[in-house]
Each structure stands twice: as structure tokens, then as C-alpha cells.
A and B are shown apart, each in its own frame.
Chain A
Amino acid sequence: MKKLIIILTIIAGGFGAKAQNALPKFTVTPSEIDALTENVTIVFDVTGSAVDGLTDVYIWAWAPGLSPSETLLVYDQGSPSWGSISQNAKLDPVPGDPKKFKLSLPKTVTRNGVQVTFNNVAELFGVGDTPGKIKEFGFLLRSQDGSKQTPGDGATKVTLLPLEFTPAYFRTFPAKVSNKDVVTVLLNLNLLESGENQKLKIAGDITVSVTLLKANGTEILSVENAATLFTSQKEYSYTFLPAMLGAFPAGTSLNDVAKCHVKFSGKVYSQAGAAETVQTKVFEFEFQQYN
């Protein structure tokens, strides 16, 4: 009988230990994020995990390949130390559910006496200017003193979508630009949209019309049917400097230029040789304010 009790105790102990080793469940919203996605929330369900029952749960997260690899949340200055985790790493409780905690971005914290806001995962790991460096991050949940922790072997990790260039029917270079910068507009007819005149696919002599506008939509000046260049990426491009696009009407200046309309035109020829002009829709983009 005694032996049986001992065996049952060992088995029960084993199950108990297993329960305490359970991985925390987590949900990332939105479900697919990259290093620059904003307004991200991660909800952790600690039921059955080593930190189940704690009122204060901390996150210890790291991104392979970075140095230091730990998130800036876990230390206020110097380098990360397991023994002295920052209060910034404390997860927020989910109201009404004591077993759930969350990490929401943007998150504003104080580091080394300075208030800092992390808008995305890249900024959480200090690579906001080089987000391409972070592909995934692993995490564990722990108590403040580190005596309790969920497995830290990478079993719980968030994989980020790669930051990839996406070809577009129309784009500008740079992607965001001010009215004082050199601007290149590009059209990719291989990505012709369904609502467009499909004859554009076979059009030649592609030209472009560019119009500069005030914030209220009033036209300031325009250039009609400027020649385009066909690039190695099979895009039709036109480069301009807003200040040099044309003569500004009296009473207007470059400072009034807030947005831009761009329309491409091409020619298709019938078998009889008659030319027909086909046009894209009007693309609009706004100029940024840069110093």
C-alpha cells in the first residue's frame, strides 16, 4: 500500500511538473506582422505555465542575430541582466482575466530617465532604423526575480513577415518625398490594373503629364506629355524637380505645392495605321514635409 502511495505521488508530481512546464499560449494581432507593423498587440495566456498564478508577469524577449539580442524593454541602460529586469518589461494585465497579460504597441516607457515610445517590433529591439535585421524574436515569461520562467528554448517565438519590396502599377521614388526633392514617377504596365484601358498593355510612345496642386486641389502648374524612359525594371519613368517643372504663376511658389497628379498616355495603332491615344487613370500623391 505504501509503495502504491509513493508511486501515485511520483506520478502526480510528474503531471504537476509537466503542467508547470506548459508553454504560454499567445495571440498576435494583427495575425501577420513585420518589423514595422504598428498597433500590434500580443496577448499571453499563462494558464498551466510556470508563471500561472503570478499577478506580475514579465517578458524576456530576444532576437537572434542582434547584439545585444534582448529587447530594450528588459533593461534601462547598459546591458541586459537576468537578475535585474526592468519594470518596462512588465506585461499589462487583461481586465477580467487574471491568467491573461498583454504587450501593446505603441508602448511608452522611461529608459535611463528619458521617455521613449516603441511603435513597432524593430523599435522594441533598437533597430528602428534597420528593421531588415530582425526576422523573428523568441520570448519567455518570468517572475520579476527570475525564479519562475516559461521555457526559454525558442519554443515560443514570433516570426515576422519579411520586409520585401512590392512592385506596383504606379510608384514614386523615393516612396515618400517632399516638394523640394527630386521625384521620379514610375509606371509598370506589366501590373496594369483591371479597371484600366487594357490597350495600355500594347501601347507605345508612353508620355506623362504632371500637375502640381495646392492642398485644396487648385492646380498650380502642369507639364503635358513629357517623354518617359523605359527602365531596366520594365517601368516607364519620369524624373522632375517640382521647383523646375515650370514657371509658377504670380502669387504662388513652391511652398504652395502640396500634392501631385500624374497621368501616363500611350499610343496604339490600328491595322490601318490610325493612332489612338490611351491613358491611365490619374495617380495622386502628397508631398511630405521634410527638413
Chain B
Amino acid sequence: MKKIVYLLFITLVVFSCMPDEIPPIGEKTNYKPMLAGTWQLSKFEQIDAEAESKNFPEFATRKDLTNVFPGHPYSDFTITFKADGTFTSAKGNSYMQFMASGNWALDDEQYPSAIVLTSGSTSQKIALGSLADVIVGKVQFKEERKQPDTGKVKIKYVYSLTKK
């Protein structure tokens, strides 16, 4: 009887030490439907990457360009991603340089890091910032300007957009 109790105890200890199976967290997020819709630029920033790397003060590191050109606010810019895979953009009075229309796709459906715009033989890859806020109607596009010989990022542009 005593042996049976020991055996049961050992069995209980062994099983209690087995790792729990990690339950599925949920469905993988499908960002494409979330990105569909019209997005308006709310903030446009320029970052001196070298100054940023040196921890220079804010005024020497980044500049808000949203309304820097009177009569030509970057906030005029809108882009509409349609569910059928086409897009249109409107720069309004801004100096924004974007393809006006064409097709859009994510570079990776599961783990997107960029939106690829194509129109005929022309294509434009727009890096995406964190997609955590897409669900609340916010997204960031990023553009990097690099030194050709070293590949070092010298200037960054951050486009913050809000869903209309």
C-alpha cells in the first residue's frame, strides 16, 4: 500500500513538472483589409540620421516639415488603398512625391514591412513603421536616404498617416 502511494506521488510529481502546452494566441493578423481605406498625412518629419546617432538635441536631429512650406502643407496628401488591390494618391498643394495611381501589395502578407506600389513598369517600395496602431487607424511610412558607397543611412523621412 505504501509503495502504491509512493508511485502515485512520483507520478504526480513527474506529470506536474511537464511543460504546459502553449495554447494558440489567436489568428494571425491580416493587415491588408486594415490598410484598405483612405489615409491622410498628419505629420511629416525629417531626421538627420547622423545627428540622431550622436544623440544630438532634438532641434539638431529632427524637423517637422508638415507645414514648413506656406500654402503647400504636406497634410494635403491622401492615399487610398482599395480592397481590389488598386490605389490612388492625391498630393493636393503639397510637394509630396508619390505615384498617383496603380496597384498596391504588401511585400509579405504575414509579416509585412513595406507596401509595394506599381504602375506599369514603375514600382515604389514604401517601408512601413510599426503596424501596431493600424487597428486604431494610424500608420507610418518611412523613407531612408543612403550614401551610395557605404550604404549608411544619412537622412530619414517619417510620414505619419491617419485613416479618414
Contact = CB atoms under 8 A, between A and B. Distances in A.
Interface of A: 36, 129-132, 163-165, 173-178, 180-182, 184, 231-233, 239, 241, 243-244, 288-291
Interface stretch (B26-34, B108-116, B133-141, B146-154): B146-154
Contacts of B55: 132, 163
B54 A163 contact: yes
A165 B145 contact: no
Interface in B7-62: 46, 48, 50-51, 53-57, 59-60
A178 B148 CA distance: 12
Contact of A174 (B95, B147, B154): B154
Given A174-B155, A175-B51, A291 B145 contact: yes
Q: Classify the interface of chain B: helix, strand, loop or mixed.
A: mixed
A120 to B, nearest CB: 12
Contact of A290 (B46, B48, B148): B148
A173 B60 contact: yes
Given A129-B152, A181-B145, A232 B59 contact: yes
Contact of A131 (B48, B53, B68, B154): B53
A173 B145 contact: no
A288 to B, nearest CB: 7
A175 B50 CA distance: 9
Nearest to B72: A244
Given A175-B48, A233-B59, A241 B95 contact: yes
A175 B69 CA distance: 20
A10 B60 CA distance: 63
Interface of B: 46, 48, 50-51, 53-57, 59-60, 63, 65, 68-69, 95, 145-148, 152-155
Contact of B95 (A176, A231, A244): A244
Given A163-B55, A239-B65, A290-B147, A181 B155 contact: yes
B51 A165 contact: yes
A225 to B, nearest CB: 16
Nearest to A35: B54
A182 B68 contact: yes
A108 to B, nearest CB: 14
A288 B147 contact: yes
Nearest to A183: B46
Contact of B155 (A129, A241, A290): A290
Contacts of B155: 174, 177-178, 181, 290
Given A164-B56, A173-B63, A175-B50, 14 more contacts: A36-B54, A131-B53, A165-B51, A165-B56, A173-B60, A174-B48, A174-B50, A178-B155, A181-B46, A182-B68, A232-B59, A233-B59, A239-B69, A291-B147
Contacts of B152: 129
